[in-house]
Structure 1
Amino acid sequence: MTSHADWLRNPGSLFDIRGKVAVVTGASGSFGSLAAAVLAGAGARLVLTAGNGKALQETAAQCADLGAEVETVQRRPGTESDCDAIMDAAIARFGALDILVVGSGLNDPAPIVEQSLERFEKVMDGNVTSAWLLCRAFGQRVISRGTLAKVVLVSSARGKLGHPAGYSAYCASKAATDGLTRALGCEWGKHGITVNAIAPTVFRSPLTAWMFEDNEKANAVRAGFLSRVPLGRLGEPEDLAGPLLFLCSKASDFHTGHTVYADGGYTAG
């Protein structure tokens, strides 16, 4: 008589994160708010952080409407004490740490010959140092408790490809994000913590809404960009939801140190 593993009777169970405790930073931004909503809809318990209190509460309300238990921490992950406070808030509220999604970050484009060191360091701090600090605070608590966990960083197609519009700081920061992903994937494998990154290209959000409009400027910019995207369209929020859920769930237990490009094939060519 043929015996089947339990998961074969319900392969979708591999993506089940109901009850998991997920910390999402940058929850007021485009990716962070989307990640929060996806995890809420999947049944996770959430700790959401952002510096913008009003936008943070809007995201929290959306997640609560989706049925999630939500704790908010109005802090940006700029210092060791900020990151410690975020992780401690999760443990205080829910008694566990299972998932970290680093959705916070920024860009400040300028030609390198015009960009100040202060502006460069701001981008690097926002995209690299804060992610490093969050991972350290998360890892210190998870490793000491001996539990399995998932970390998802946010990279970009620009971590692999350059850009002519003054992206020397941003491209460098996202390449560093990819390096951090690989390094921690190797370092934390023995602890059962997977570390991966999602690297989107342009997807629909308040910041990019203009590229989806039907006017002369948007049409010209979009046509030029799509000429380099094999799937021939811009990204939609649901294009990021699937990879995110995969990387946060048991389905990705044998995947670590990877950067997953959600870009319609943009970086493949």
Structure 2
Amino acid sequence: MAEISAQLRDPLSAFAVAGKVAIITGASGAFGRGCALTLAAMGGRLCLAAGSAGELAEVADEVRALGGECVTIQRRPDSLEDAEAILKTALDAYGTVDQLVIASGYNKAGFIQDQPLEEWEAVMNANVRGNWLMAKAVGSWWIDQKKRGKVLMMSSVRGRHGNVSGYTGYCTSKGATDALTRVLATEWAKYGITVNSIAPTVFRSKLTAWMWSEDEVGQATRARSLARIPLGRLGEVEDLMGMALYLLSPASDFCTGQIMYVDGGLTAG
């Protein structure tokens, strides 16, 4: 009889993240909050970063209510100084970092002929520049320390598909996120650092709450989105957390450079 490995004897052990230290930017948003609560429930130790002090405190309270451990910093990765300050907060608290979840982002819809350059640049800065800066700060520390790590970024099906709603900023930024995921994965594989992204379709968040409303615009937009999703519903943040846990745990050690679509089948058709 062939030897049965420890992981095959205990498959759930591959998803263990207890004691691991995660930095989560955009921690007050739906995806960042979901990752924070999921990792806290699994025994992770967290450094939560966001721009809103009040919303950040609320997420920290939820984490602690689950028995989780966290520190916070009211900061977005708008500059390298910001990114390094977020990293320093985690290192001062825990002495190390194992996981980086870059969940901060922004969208401002506008048709290209009408949208001011400043709005487009704001979307690109939040969704691309911030990712690059945060990855640079934490990845450089991992490489200097000869330490393995896991990076998880937030993409979208809009990195692959266009949109009729004036998304030249958002779609372009998510396409860039996909490219950044792949190139960092290939650059950093030799250091034992994995880099992946989750790409959902529309899921419920503060930014998309209007789509669940009963007004005419919300109903029309929701109907148009639902028509393209084979599973017949829009997403909830809980739908993303299984994939997030996989990509942040040892279960995904041989998975890197991937854009993981969690989209109800939208990209399959």
> Offset of 1:210 from its aligned partner?
3.9
1:219–1:107 Cα change, 3 Å: closer
1:244–1:234 Cα change, 3 Å: same
Between stretches 212-221 and 111-120, larger displacement belongs to 212-221
Counting matched residue pairs gives 269
What is the aligned partner in structure 2 of residue 246 from structure 1?
246
The 5 Å alignment of 1:31-70 reads 31-70=31-70
- C-alpha RMSD of the superposition: 1.4
The 5 Å alignment of 1:54-133 reads 54-133=54-133
Q: Which deviations, in whole Å up to 9, do the C-alpha atoms of 1:1-59 show, x marking residues without a partner?
A: 55221111110110100000000001111211111111111111000001100000000
Q: TM-score, normalised by structure 1?
A: 0.96
Q: In structure 2, the residue corresponding to 1:31 is in which secondary structure?
A: helix
Between stretches 234-243 and 218-227, larger displacement belongs to 218-227
What is the aligned partner in structure 2 of residue 197 from structure 1?
197
Contact 2:34 2:238 in 1 (8 A): no
What is the aligned partner in structure 2 of residue 181 from structure 1?
181
Distance 2:182 2:137 in 1: 18
Q: In structure 1, the residue corresponding to 2:58 is in which secondary structure?
A: helix
Unaligned runs of 5+ in 2: none
Contact 2:150 2:248 in 1 (8 A): yes
Q: In structure 1, the residue corresponding to 2:267 is in which secondary structure?
A: helix
Unaligned runs of 5+ in 1: none
> Offset of 1:212 from its aligned partner?
3.5
Q: In structure 1, the residue corresponding to 2:109 is in which secondary structure?
A: coil
Distance 1:246 1:9 in 2: 18
Distance 2:35 2:101 in 1: 8
Between stretches 193-202 and 112-121, larger displacement belongs to 112-121
Distance 1:213 1:52 in 2: 25
Q: Which deviations, in whole Å up to 9, do the C-alpha atoms of 1:222-261 show, x marking residues without a partner?
A: 3322121111111122210000000000010001001001
Distance 1:16 1:41 in 2: 11
1:69–1:81 Cα change, 3 Å: same
Q: TM-score, normalised by structure 2?
A: 0.96
What is the aligned partner in structure 2 of residue 268 from structure 1?
268
- Within the alignment, does 1:8 sit opposite 2:8 as a pair? yes
Between stretches 179-188 and 142-151, larger displacement belongs to 142-151
